[in-house]
Structure 1
Amino acid sequence: MSCFRYARQASFWLASAALLASSQPAAAQGQVTVYCSILEEQCREGATMFERATGIKVSMVRKSTGEVYAQVKAEASNPRGDVWWGGPGEPHLQAAEEGLLDEYRSPKLAELHDWAQRHAEQSKFRTSGIYLGALGVGFNTEMLKKKGLPEPKCWADLLDPAYRDEVQIADPSSSGTAYVFLATTVQRLGEEKGFDYLKALHKNINQYTKSGIAPVKATALGETAIGIAFIHDMLTQKLQGAPINTVAPCEGTGYETGSVSMIKGGRNAEAARRFIDFTLSPEAQNINAKLKINSIPSNRNAELSPDAPKFSEIKLIDYDTPRWGSPAERSRLLKKFDTEVKALPR
């Protein structure tokens, strides 16, 4: 056998052995079950990237933030999920306080912006920040023009009787997006005036959807004239050609700290930790720029889409995420919304 042929075969077997060795830990860990509360496209792309990088099989379930919180709570005695990926931080913080999440200090935390590191510290490292998104209003320009309706500029504008049955938002009990709106309204106006505003707005709501992304897509399709959602989600639809404009309301607005958490008692703890490390990495967060999703990534080394909202140009309130994410406050507000607002006739 020639030296060249021997060396080539040796290289082949060494490479095969290395591949086998690298795949053995992933095979031993089996899979990771991820409850995903970001856009479905992000969920799919992230799962594919992680599987290719690690060999660990991802079982992905896409649900709204409130639905995942309810599922994690219902499964507390027999957890079926390992990771909760995405969605506003308040339900994550509530789950953390209720003992539904495990502490995990990812080595990637040092790479994150200060606001994301503070979010992890506030949760006692039971959840970590992966993106920021400002709440706002999106409107279908063609529908407003066709119906002769003005373009809203402020939260107060949405109470105009001309918008009756023209505004859509999700249900805060099932949607983290809508809960941020509920909490923003209460913080901005005070509880009494805030609920007066919500009752008045109720007259103009055509539907409380299950998912926070539903009003975004309905606005893009012309199924509703106005949607209340995160500005970056509306911008994604605009960049895809939908006749949408967005506005950060003039009075000021709240924002979400998108989060990722490790579910307590999950069956695949090591794989879960590796998946969380992945979500905090630049590679995973660059999915946003790739898919033209314009939230603000938490990793300092991740790409920021040139189309992302400029937070310096948005009037933000000093949104109190830990307060609105506390179990007592969140449960109380949701119950009050159901009984005093959602139950009203329109």
Structure 2
Amino acid sequence: MILGFVVALGLVFPGLARAGEILVYTALEDDEYPGYLELFKKDHPDITVKVVRDSTGIITAKLLAEKDNPQADVVWGTAATSLLVCDQNGMLEGYAPKNLDKVASQFRDTANPPHWVGIKAWETGFCVNTVESEKLKLPVPSSMADLIRPEYKGKIVMPNPASSGTGFLTVSAVLQTMGEEKGWQFLDKLHDNIAQYTHSGSKPCKMAGAGEFPIGISFGYRGIIQKQKGEPVQTVFPTDGCGWDVEANALVKKAAIKPEAKVFLDWALGADVMKMYAKVYPLTAYPTGVAIPEGYPADPFKILVKNDFQWAAKNRDRILEEWTKRYGGKSEAK
């Protein structure tokens, strides 16, 4: 897989030196983050931001590989469980960005100053192609439990948790809510119905939207945004609870920390960009007053399972090793 997608934003004024340049790693969606950065560009035209974007697992692996020679200045919108792994390896610098006092406790590190701070959360959602499902006479699944029914055999695609944060939060939720013994038994049965595991959390929804498969296990934002674009996609939030994680920011520990990195982190938790996040992600770090997007339940926090981030981070490597051993044979080629 070609790692990342690099975008440089900034204004260069002839004869004037740039105030600074920072490198930001992110797992935010590739059709999502450019709009946010346009706002940053307006607010801080003298700071150049270079972005490396990829799936959560790939960004996490890149950060860990660069542990002894960190390249990024900031991590933006990447799973809190991944940042906890980085923090356990001593890779993050504590920093209290502006507006930290507004952030809900479950959206931030407990350390003072925090080593990571969330901006929003994302959750498991099924993307169901209503046209294809009707053709195949498939009922729309309403729960995770429904997905192991025999009629769905070969009709479901799902993200690989080793490369996708959406895949990991979904697997982690199964293991936490069912217990590991029953959880792995459930995942065995689900595997029987899976046609393919993808290396992107959004790809199952894109495949469902294109009619390649009737059902894609993905996340809420993806299905809702695709429906807004006219695709025949119904987003289902499982009634037995949604796995979830926090998209969080962090300051990378380096010998020389750039002041522009802290400026970016302050901006990324600001009210203006938080309202932009809330237009498609109602689970924001603090209230914005923005109406909940159509397609989400009235209280989206109520659909989330209880999630122990520390447990998920501590057991991440073990879970992924076991998952890959059991199910990796159905993963798409990298």
Aligned to 1:165: 154
What SS is found at the alignment partner of 1:84? strand
Which amino acid in 2 is paired with 1:319?
Answer: N
Map 1:81-100 onto structure 2 (within 5 A).
Answer: 81-100=72-91
Aligned to 1:330: 316
CA drift of 1:266 comes to 7.3
Change (3 A) 1:148 1:267: farther
Aligned to 2:5: none
Distance 1:124 1:93 in 2: 15
Distance 1:56 1:140 in 2: 43
CA contact (8 A) 1:184 1:254 kept: yes
What SS is found at the alignment partner of 2:157? strand
Map 1:237-252 onto structure 2 (within 5 A).
Answer: 237-252=226-241
What SS is found at the alignment partner of 1:215? helix
Map 1:131-280 onto structure 2 (within 5 A).
Answer: 131-265=120-254, 269-280=258-269
CA drift of 1:242 comes to 1.4
Which amino acid in 2 is paired with 1:135?
Answer: T
Q: Which runs of 5+ in 1 are unaligned?
A: 1-22
Aligned to 1:4: none
What SS is found at the alignment partner of 2:218? strand
Aligned to 1:320: 308
Which amino acid in 2 is paired with 1:338?
Answer: T
Deviation readout 1:52-74 (Å, 9 max, x if unpaired): 21120110111011111110111
Aligned to 1:77: 68
CA drift of 1:182 comes to 0.8
CA drift of 1:332 comes to 0.9
CA contact (8 A) 1:295 1:308 kept: no
CA drift of 1:100 comes to 1.6
Change (3 A) 1:304 1:115: farther
Q: TM-score, normalised by structure 2?
A: 0.87
Distance 1:266 1:280 in 2: 25
Distance 2:286 2:198 in 1: 31
Deviation readout 1:124-165 (Å, 9 max, x if unpaired): 611101002232222110110011111111111111222122
- TM superposition outliers: structure 1 runs of 4+ over 4 Å: none
Matched, 1:299 2:286: yes
Q: Which runs of 5+ in 2 are unaligned?
A: 1-14
Change (3 A) 1:288 1:103: same
Deviation readout 1:13-68 (Å, 9 max, x if unpaired): xxxxxxxxxx98x823x211111211113221222222221120110111011111
Matched, 1:33 2:23: yes
Distance 1:209 1:158 in 2: 17
CA contact (8 A) 1:83 1:260 kept: yes
CA contact (8 A) 1:231 1:246 kept: yes
CA drift of 1:277 comes to 1.0
Superposed CA RMSD in Å reads: 2.4
- Tell which deviates more after alignment, 196-205 or 140-149: 196-205
Distance 2:30 2:129 in 1: 23
CA contact (8 A) 1:177 1:212 kept: yes
Which amino acid in 1 is paired with 2:25?
Answer: Y
Deviation readout 1:216-263 (Å, 9 max, x if unpaired): 211222122111122232111112211111222222222221111112
- Tell which deviates more after alignment, 105-114 or 311-320: 311-320
Which amino acid in 2 is paired with 1:89?
Answer: A
Based on CA coordinates, which of the two structures has the bigger radius of gyration?
Answer: 1
Aligned to 1:45: 35
Matched, 1:282 2:271: yes
Distance 1:218 1:123 in 2: 43
Aligned to 1:16: none
Distance 1:131 1:319 in 2: 15
CA contact (8 A) 1:79 1:267 kept: no
CA contact (8 A) 1:88 1:176 kept: yes
Change (3 A) 1:178 1:311: farther
Change (3 A) 1:266 1:147: farther
Distance 2:83 2:201 in 1: 16
Change (3 A) 1:311 1:102: farther
Q: How many pairs are equivalent?
A: 316
CA drift of 1:341 comes to 2.9
Q: TM-score, normalised by structure 1?
A: 0.84
Distance 1:230 1:65 in 2: 14
Distance 1:266 1:143 in 2: 54
Aligned to 1:341: 327
Larger proportion of helix: 1
% same residue: 29
CA drift of 1:109 comes to 0.3
